[in-house]
Structure 1
Amino acid sequence: MSDDNPTDTDTDADEGVEIPVDTGSEDEMGGESEPAGGARERLEEEADRARSEFDSRVVDILSWVLETETRARIYVQLRKLPWSTSEEVAEGTGLYPSTVREALAALHEEGVVDRQKRQSEGAGNNPYEYMAIPPSDLVGNVVGRVQDELNTLFNLDSHLDETEPESRPVSIEVTAEGEEPSDDGADEENPNP
């Protein structure tokens, strides 16, 4: 077989057996050519599936934090495209515009999204545009809620007896990576001496 004309198989003259031959060509720069279309498509499909699974896991976590999947999808969309109008969010999420407007109003009231009037020249209605707070701020809001719920559980007997709880044994502090926790004087083993 000559190098000038690659083929899919080469026949061994002595035994008449076909031997598979690599027919990949080299590009003009002397490197290997791109993978075959089928392999590239499989890789792209796998990457899309991985992104989709990641997105669905994020939405699941946010659904717990923000109480509904609708609110979670809106939050993700606003992190992708900050300062979007309710119509733009509806288009990006596939949700009904009225559902998006209602959820955005509630999220704004809760401090999860910021809003401002869109500035435009000319007459007409300037719609609100929204931006979601950073995830670190969202986690900070959740920590307080989780801490209160855990303290209620720890002090269940006091709540059942309708007496004042003796202590607040759960204290959760969130710090950024590389940041030292604040020393507020509490002993780590016994936060309520």
Structure 2
Amino acid sequence: MSADDSNDDGVQEDVRERLEETAEGLDARLVDLLSWILDTETRARIYVYLREHPHATSEEIADGTGLYPSTVREALAALHEEGKVTRGKRESGGAGNNPYEYDAMPPAELVGSIVEEVQEELNTVFNLDSLLGGETPNSSPVTINVSEDDTRQDDRDD
């Protein structure tokens, strides 16, 4: 392991610790899952902060998460481009610049945004033997449905 590898591990561990502090009370598996869905722990940390503090500016997010302001601005730009956060100008009565304020999409929408990709990947694994044999897979047995409706549990009990 090189010195750079150990330094990267230290940085990642520091980010993980700060994310877990920000998301106090969240199960560690949930934090890992959010990091996977959003690509990085930094983006997960920003998402959690925005769910706890809607209409926050990039400066407020940086202060609240302990992340560098430039890191927050870069991550917010990417999350906004992907549609995972929305932004609008903060209204103020005074003169001067009105900063953007950000909101994170609801968790159900976040999950819904990745379902198709996860479903395709699971079907690829399911059809691995066909792919290894050079055959074109002819089935997609994995189907993922996302619903906020709690009656789905009742349907499974029948």
Length-normalised TM-score, structure 2: 0.72
Q: Partner of 1:166: helix, strand, or coil?
A: coil
CA RMSD of superposed structures (Å): 2.5
- Closer, same or farther: CA 55–166 of 1 in aligned 2, 3 Å: closer
Of 69, 92, 95, the match for 2:41: 69
CA drift of 1:109 comes to 1.0
Residues 40-88 of structure 1, C-alpha deviation per residue, up to 9 Å, x if partnerless? xxxxxxxxx9x84536443222111111110111000000010111110
Q: How many residues align?
A: 132
Partner of 1:82: 54
Partner of 2:99: 127
CA drift of 1:161 comes to 6.9
1:166 aligns with 2:132: no
Of 83, 88, 92, the match for 1:116: 88
Question: Greater relative contact order: 1 or 2 (C-alpha under 8 angstroms, separation 6 or more)?
Answer: 2
- Closer, same or farther: CA 57–150 of 1 in aligned 2, 3 Å: closer
1:152 aligns with 2:92: no
Question: Partner amino acid for 1:54?
Answer: L
Query: Considering only CA atoms, is the larger Rg found in Structure 1 or Structure 2?
Result: 1
Question: Partner amino acid for 1:178?
Answer: D
Question: Partner amino acid for 1:67?
Answer: D
1:105 aligns with 2:77: yes
Structure 1 unpaired stretches of 5+: 1-48, 182-193
Partner of 2:111: 139
Task: State the alpha-carbon separation in 1 of the partners of residues 99 and 135 from structure 2.
Answer: 50
- Closer, same or farther: CA 160–116 of 1 in aligned 2, 3 Å: farther
CA drift of 1:173 comes to 0.9
CA drift of 1:121 comes to 2.3
CA drift of 1:168 comes to 1.6
Task: Point out the structure with the larger helix share.
Answer: 2
Structure 2 unpaired stretches of 5+: 1-20, 154-158
Question: Partner amino acid for 2:104?
Answer: A
Moved over 4 A (4+): 157-164
